[in-house]
Amino acid sequence: MRCATFALGNRQYEHFCYMGRWMDARLAAYGATRLCALGEGDDDDNLEADFERWKATLWEALCPGGGEITCAPTPQFECKMLPKGANPNANPNANPNPKPKPKPKPKPKPKPKPKPNPNPKPA
Ligand SMILES: Cc1cc2nc3c(=O)[nH]c(=O)nc-3n(C[C@H](O)[C@H](O)[C@H](O)COP(=O)(O)O)c2cc1C
């Protein structure tokens, strides 16, 4: 997976851009490749200018030397909404609404053996 992260923050806060820094580090730890370095926007200064500077580094990575991007890149993943309570690790190709298995029919009870006649007819 390739990724690019821009963190929004304000240097007045003790944990400046913590969430974006965390996300950038986590993605890298899971093996993602950064398209460009983490961007950080400081609302105490000029968030928009920070973003524009970072955006230029992202475009350069996506389209080296400039030029126009005329088509959207082919997605490398697919997003699916899982029904509530679904197992996210289940086989993604499995039918999400499988038919319930029919209940096995109960075995027929064995017929009771006929009791010997207590008053047999005399021969
Ligand atoms: C423009 C803006 C920038 C912010 N930057 C940061 C930041 O860099 N670090 C941080 O911990 N919280 C930041 N925050 C605050 C969080 O978004 C969040 O509101 C806050 O952490 C919640 O706690 P509080 O209500 O006590 O401030 C920022 C909020 C705004 C509106």
Q: Which residues are CB-contacts of 62 (< 8 A; sequence separation ≥ 6)?
A: 35, 69
Question: Do 42 and 11 touch, CB atoms closer than 8 A?
Answer: yes
Is the shortest distance between the CB of 13 and ligand 1 below 6 Å?
yes
22: CATH: 3.40.50.360
Q: Is residue 83 one of the residues assigned to a domain?
A: no
Q: Is residue 50 one of the residues assigned to a domain?
A: yes
Q: What's the gap in Å between 44 CA and the centre of ligand 1? A: 11
Q: Is residue 121 one of the residues assigned to a domain?
A: no
Q: How many domains does the chain have?
A: 1
Question: Which two three-digit tokens encode residue 75?
Answer: 């997605």
pLDDT value of residue 92: 67
pLDDT value of residue 71: 73
Q: With the C-alpha atoms ordered 69, 74, 77, 79, is the resulting torsion angle positive or negative?
A: positive
Q: Is residue 55 one of the residues assigned to a domain?
A: yes
Q: What's the gap in Å between 13 CA and the centre of ligand 1? A: 7
CA nearest 35: which of 60, 55, 61, 56?
Answer: 61
Q: Give the structural domain span for 33.
A: 2-62
Q: Is residue 122 one of the residues assigned to a domain?
A: no
Q: Is residue 27 one of the residues assigned to a domain?
A: yes
CA nearest 23: which of 46, 40, 43, 48?
Answer: 40
Model pTM score: 0.63
Nearest ligand 1 atom to alpha carbon 18:
9
pLDDT value of residue 90: 79
Q: Is residue 12 one of the residues assigned to a domain?
A: yes
How many C-beta neighbours within 10 Å does residue 10 have? 13
pLDDT value of residue 36: 97
Q: What's the gap in Å between 9 CA and the centre of ligand 1? A: 7
> Which residues in the chain come in under a pLDDT of 50?
none
Q: Is residue 17 one of the residues assigned to a domain?
A: yes
